[in-house]
Amino acid sequence: MQSNEPDRRRFLKTLAMSGAAAAALPRFPGILHAANDPTGPPATNIDDALAVPRVATSMPGLYPGRVVEVHDEHCIVDDSPDTTAAKRMLEHAMMELTGSTTLADAWLRFVTPNDIIGLKVNPVAGTLLSTSLAIVNAVISQLEEAGIPREHIVIWDRREFQLHEVGFTSDNFPGIRIWGTECKDAANSFRDANGELYSLQRIDKDVFYWADCEETYDDETLPYMVNEGKYSYFAALLTNELTKVINIPILKNAGNSITLCLKNLAYGAITNTARLHKQLWAETSAQVPCFVPLRDKTVLNIVDGIIGCYNGGPAANPQFIIPYHCLLVGSDPVAVDRIGYDIVLKKRIEKEIQKQESPRALAFMNMAEQYGLGIADPSRIDHVVSLSQD
């Protein structure tokens, strides 16, 4: 159901409280804390995640350090991403990434017909700057061609109602499950007849990111956070049902950094994030993907750069939204993020938003490399740039 106007105002308030506005600023509090306070940032349970043995599917996946960037100047038709072009671009990228002789083989290197596959999209900035329906349709179409049953595919993110608002609905994606941790009923209520949040039934309290910081939420904000305290719980869909994740973020900035693969996973998979935005932005982006449900299940990253932004992100500011006409594809989320960062930085410098690179902006990628999630050093990244042809 579409949100009413009071609910929209509450959501805008939530964005500010959750730190989305703070993430758009050129400074990251967690990094500054670490740099200026000898006690360092708040403690977390990252050591618990790092202690779990890695498996064959663990990040950085099948192709560490390899990123395919595909361009198509004809991928936007009537100001919207074109599904036919998106399919063409994605096919080109998958074949280039894997070296496969058939498209089906390329996909089956990452998933099997027995997998339950979650497509992690990003609708938080609304219709102006969402993961496009065109690229998600392209992914689903090619998965089906590779033999993946439609009923084994789930489109998911934190907020189910945001998914609906940008077009991820059963009408547009028949037979595909649409799922969000934070959800409402048909009456537009977050709570059941007993006053309990429906979202509490959609989290796994046995799997969590603990951080020694907390924040209190009012009654309007709590449904967007699910819980208070020092625990951020993982979505039950991710921990209990999905066997593979395909990450589909947008090519956009967050202040002088970016919010692509790692952040789309980290902040989309857990609850109670406002406290983390304020004190542990970089650490959360690097550490949450180290936990098994993300580290071992996220096998592919497809950055939707058909339309993105270079300033004002992660929110949608029309004056900064541009066509990048590209996709970035790789199994290594750190390497993909680094290439995406370079693209956004180049545009920010060109538009005189900033004059030079900021070391703070790279902090979460460098942390993620240290945790073994991928390669942040551009000299070690195999960056392939090509054109998708009609």
pLDDT tens digits, one per residue of 320-364: 999 999 999 999 999 999 999 999 999 999 999 998 888 889 999
* Cα distance between residue 344 and residue 332, in whole Å: 19
% of residues, the chain, pLDDT over 90? 85
* Cα distance between residue 167 and residue 278, in whole Å: 30
Give the three-class secondary structure for 162.
helix
pLDDT digit string (tens) for 211-240?
999 999 999 999 999 999 999 999 999 999
Q: Residue 114: is its pLDDT beyond 60?
A: yes
Give the three-class secondary structure for 55.
coil
At 278 the pLDDT is 82
Q: Residue 27: is its pLDDT beyond 80?
A: no
pTM, to two decimals = 0.90
% of residues, the chain, pLDDT over 70? 89
How confident is the prediction for the chain on average, in pLDDT?
90
What dihedral angle (degrees, nearest 10) is formed by the CA atoms of 204, 205, 208, 211?
Answer: 140
Which has the higher per-residue pLDDT, 284 or 360?
284
Q: Residue 2: is its pLDDT beyond 80?
A: no
Query: Average pLDDT for residues 11-32, to the nearest whole number?
Result: 33
